Structure 1
Amino acid sequence: MTSFYQLSATSLSGQQIAMADYAGKLVLVVNTASHCGFTPQYAGLEALYKKYAAQGLVVLGFPCNQFGKQEPGGADDISRTCYINYGVSFPMFEKVDVNGAAAHPLFRYLKDALPGVLGGRIKWNFTKFLVGCDGKPLKRFAPISTPEKIETAIITALKNPGE
């Protein structure tokens, strides 16, 4: 079976990034969208990132257009929303599919490890996956789980990196 650290993805600026670059970090993977009711969660995700980055948290944003066509633009449009409108400083990646035959391998891996209530499917934008400092998927959070509501799980995982 593939491990988290064997996977890679392309950044919003077009660079290939290995998940192994995040070894030893607590990683929060989020499928995002610029025109969604949950888009304001960018601000909360950025706040978590800034608050816990020094302790080992990294947030990885993956834009997706599979839910209500809420991420229709290209990299420039996504950049404007993330960086200008919400001040995002955490890594953003190119637009991906999270469900179906063309789903990105990272999301196939995470859905297999943490299937959720819809089995192997992601329900909507801003589904979040917390991956431990050892690369093992720990917990999945629904889109309605705001960044503020998942802070306790982040604190616990940072205090207990091997659990």
Structure 2
Amino acid sequence: MSVDESQNFSDIKTFYIQSPLNPINETLANHLSSTITEQLITKGLTPSEEENADVSVGYLPSTTAKEDGTTLNLGLGTGSFGRSGGISLGSIFSIPVGEQTSLQQGLQIDMVKDGKFIYSASGSVELESKDSISIQKKLDELVIKLLEQYPSSAIQN
């Protein structure tokens, strides 16, 4: 997690969530967007149209498979923040899973104001099962964890 300490977060009242920075399942993208929106509302922010928002929120989901001590990263993504590569989250269902393979779901959330990153958080959770409902629940936990450090000065009284 990284915060621009020079930013006055109490000036930030509205946000706009961009489309995911890499191609993912549309249902999962909508769910992630909703979860991020809910968490930012609890921080005192209000959703807004892109042209009226104080900050733009981008998110980048990724999947990592670990097998026999080696790591394979999937879904580094493409988008306006300069990342390259990409694979949909739906593709994790086609990864051959042996007994020594574990999957981790990663997520990065970036907040940009006036072309400058002001908040960035990333993390991952291990997936015990690969069905969509389990993945959604793990992503919810991850969104809450990543946004809990968003500066409390943004909370309106």
Quickly name the TM-score band, shorter chain normalised.
0.3 to 0.5
TM-score by length of structure 1 reads 0.33
* Larger fraction in strand: 2
TM-score by length of structure 2 reads 0.34
